[in-house]
Structure 1
């Protein structure tokens, strides 16, 4: 078993738990019926803090990504996972930042990779990110990020969809 091969809950189309599988099994089988959390860090200028994933990542190495993202492990709810991942990836305490839920997306309705809750965190400084997760970052306005992605900048598959869904007014 891989070190980061978490046990994840498998859910039905209504996001109710129907089983459990290892992350490696889920990805090997191409499943989308598991849960994740994603968050965008935004500043007072309306820019998004966008990191580049490390070369060691198993999927989407060296690609642009949402500010923070992770799997909801078996037994966790979305908010527990947000708190854990925020601490692991950005060294931030959920109780000490201003955040809000942007929305809830499903693979069948929104064509995203998993069941997900997407949050927004307000910060006017670059997070002290985990160097094992990310190698660099940039602050971008949503419309500039979309231009980068349309011009071929490699990115995690859901990034463009999430920016278009939640920041369409700014594009």
Structure 2
């Protein structure tokens, strides 16, 4: 993956209005770009929550969504889901059930970017990319929030997304 790929810039209605390098977007603290996030959820309602590696530029060693990635310039949310799920979790989305939970925006939902959030249903532990994550936990929303209350660090959007989509 090119760490400094071009990403589409979007307006408040998610219409493309330009493009900029990923590094410039973060340097300027912009939120008008697109990302995809997903939760792997098993039949017991537990989410597969990984811990990011120490060498991540943002949120090192923090708990994260099961999968997340930037929508590259000209790419759709759905294609990003397929690409990132394969890269990070070695999961082929053509072979597992998944669904769109919703679309969130920085303006309406106070999240970091325009995002589609998906749920992938599976009971097996993903064969995750060790360059992305160092460990993982199967957690209920309640158990995740207990960890956060006890000082566990997370990617900023993680508790927001769990609260919005899993109501805890």
Matches within 5 A, 1:25-104: 25-104=24-103
1:6 aligns with 2:10: no
C-alpha distance after superposition, 1:92-120 (max 9, x if no partner): 11100100000100000000000000000
Displacement after TM superposition at 1:3 (Å): 4.3
C-alpha distance after superposition, 1:54-87 (max 9, x if no partner): 1111000000000000000001010010000000
Aligned residue for 1:18? 17
Q: Distance in 1 between matches of 2:85 and 2:67?
A: 7
Please report the RMSD computed on the Cα atoms of aligned residues, expressed in angstroms. Answer: 1.0
Displacement after TM superposition at 1:152 (Å): 1.4
Displacement after TM superposition at 1:151 (Å): 1.8
Give the TM-score normalised by the residue count of structure 1: 0.96
Displacement after TM superposition at 1:167 (Å): 0.5
Displacement after TM superposition at 1:148 (Å): 0.9
Q: Please say which of residues 56-65 and 142-151 is displaced more in the overlay.
A: 142-151
How many equivalent residue pairs?
A: 168
